[in-house]
Chains A and B, each alone.
Chain A
Amino acid sequence: MKAAAVLGVLAVIVALWYCAAVWLNAAWTYDQAARNGTEVTFTLLLTDTMAQERPVLPPPHQVVAELWKGLTAYNITSKKSLVYHGYVTLVSTFSGFVLGSLLGILLAVGIVQSRTMELGLMPWAVISQTVPVVAIAPMIVVLSNSLGFGDHLGVSNALVSKTIIAAYLSYFPVLVGMVKGLRSPDQMQLDQLKTYSASEAQGFFKLRLPSSVPYLFTSLKVGIAASLVGAIVGELPTGAIEGLGARMLIGSQFGSPIIVWAALFAAAILAGVLILIVRVVETVVTRNMGVRV
């Protein structure tokens, strides 16, 4: 029933999309016809709006065709291949995600352990997210270029700046989730550890950390989506020529909407796959920790 409803709604969306494509692309068809002095028949209108070079709104099959071409037609190391661009974005997404998650977890541990950190840092963590990261992005690019972190680490400076931007966006959900998770053991459980005369460290590693795992995974799913947004946004001011964000920029500069839409769909697929991977890891880890679903 649910699958049928989803498919039904999807079908309606695709149908609406086709109608919108005819409607929005019609102006160009009429324009061309007036210039050539020909009559626009209904069938011409339908066929022409479906296959324009630079449509206002490309119909779904053009986008899918471009996406398919980008994914399969070229060698995956070619600059035309969406697999290549997707890989470039994936690398910075992943490195930013790892850095951001580690930062989030460390800060969360600090906040749970220290009252000063909690009062002083937590409001700034919230404020850091109200600062639009894209405003800082060009700054980070300049900084990582002039400081040359990448040269020391043996990677490109563009990767460093994209990683920092992705980490900036993804650390916050992890921080909030981990603080909640580390505080989730109730007083009864804490008291019981006290009766076992457990040390502070034992309480942390044997009780707080394991009970935070479900919260951690929930926020990792949000974090990896945010990290992908960061990686794409980070490609825009870097003047990058590779990556899905750069692909969108190129498509918009050459006035070719089909390229932009294909890159957008590639990014959507990437987001879906990444969330799926986190979900699989979650299932494996929680099952090994003894959670029965």
Chain B
Amino acid sequence: MSLLLGIGFWLSCWALNAAIAHSRFANRKSVRIAVPVLFGLAILGLWQGIVTGFSVPEVILPAPSSIGAAIGANLPILWVDFVQTILKGALTGYTFGVAAGCFVAVLVDRVPFLRAGLLPIGNFVAALPIVGIAPIMVMWFGFDWQSKAAVVVVMVFFPVLVNMVAGLSASDRMQRDLMATWGGTYWQTLTKLRLPAAMPFLFNGLKISATLALIGAIVAENFGSPTLGMGFRISTAVGQLALPLVWAEIAVAALAGSVFYGFVAAMERAVTFWHPSQRGR
């Protein structure tokens, strides 16, 4: 019965989506938000229907309702884990990594030898599985959040460096010549022309590394962690078969990741409003 309800809910959401996606309001902002929200609700409804319909045991897949109950019951735990992993581990590392990446990029840009030599290496390293340094960082900096932040710094550094170096050469010859005819110094050219011109590239790197930061912070907890943190909680709760709690942590991680990414995207819109890809929104 609940299975049929779930499928029916899913189908009706789909039909409604198809209707509004092809209606004449399809380009309104409200529709652009409503369609994916309905899509997500439909999946949740189908999930609930399947789990209750087939009475799937909770150790395999808990229903959305019991995950919701677990979130409500474990708010303090979820909060300390969030502070430990996201705020202390990921955000600290992200800030330092981005700052270091930008600084080194300006330095590399100044020295042609470095640009020729460091950039291919940076490109290669950016494609490597850098998460592998997690055990090394845990050995060096101990179990607490400092080692997690260190992993995140290294993971974030290379995408930011590569994109920032590409961005610093984005202004064209003509624009730089114009700055020269105005007698602009290196620093004036850098702050008034080249850094602003590099912003679209920088934000590209920032968005890539926003997701990497969370991955790094959680993976590092597999190699040793104090008795809190999202990665720690998930692996211990899996061991205790407390699956609703696991899914609650996953929901928090998903929410934190999406908000983080959304924040970077909103910053991008505010900073690079002049760029063609941001106009007309």
Contact = CB atoms under 8 A, between A and B. Distances in A.
Interface of A: 1-2, 5-10, 13, 56, 115-116, 118-124, 126-127, 129-136, 138-139, 141-143, 146-147, 221-222, 225, 228-229, 232-233, 236-237, 244-245, 248-249, 251-252, 255, 257, 260-261, 263-264, 267-268, 271-272, 275
B128 interface: yes
Contacts of B139: 56, 252, 255, 257, 260
Task: Among A116, A132, A146, A237, find the residue whose CB has the most chain B CB atoms closer than 10 A.
Answer: A132
A188 B280 CA distance: 24
B211 A248 contact: no
B196 interface: no
Interface in B9-25: 14, 17-18, 21-22
B64 interface: no
A261 B31 CA distance: 51
B162 interface: no
A229 B140 CA distance: 22
A146 B38 contact: no
B180 interface: no
A221 B126 CA distance: 12
Interface of B: 14, 17-18, 21-22, 26, 31-32, 35-36, 38-40, 59-61, 113-114, 116-118, 120-121, 124, 127-129, 131-136, 138-140, 210-211, 214-215, 218-219, 222-224, 230-231, 234-235, 238, 243, 246-247, 249-250, 253-254, 257-258, 260-261
Given A120-B38, A233-B219, A260-B135, A139 B247 contact: yes
B127 to A, nearest CB: 4
Given A9-B118, A120-B38, A127-B258, A268 B128 contact: yes
Given A236-B222, A261-B136, A123 B234 contact: no
Contacts of A237: 222, 235, 238
A120 B218 contact: no
Contacts of B254: 127, 130-131, 135
Contact of B211 (A7, A129, A136, A233): A129
B117 A6 contact: yes
A132 B132 contact: no
Nearest to A230: B129
Given A124-B40, A233-B215, A257 B136 contact: yes
A53 to B, nearest CB: 14
B17 to A, nearest CB: 5
Given A123-B36, A252-B138, A131 B253 contact: yes
A256 to B, nearest CB: 10
Contacts of B258: 127, 130-131
B218 A134 contact: yes
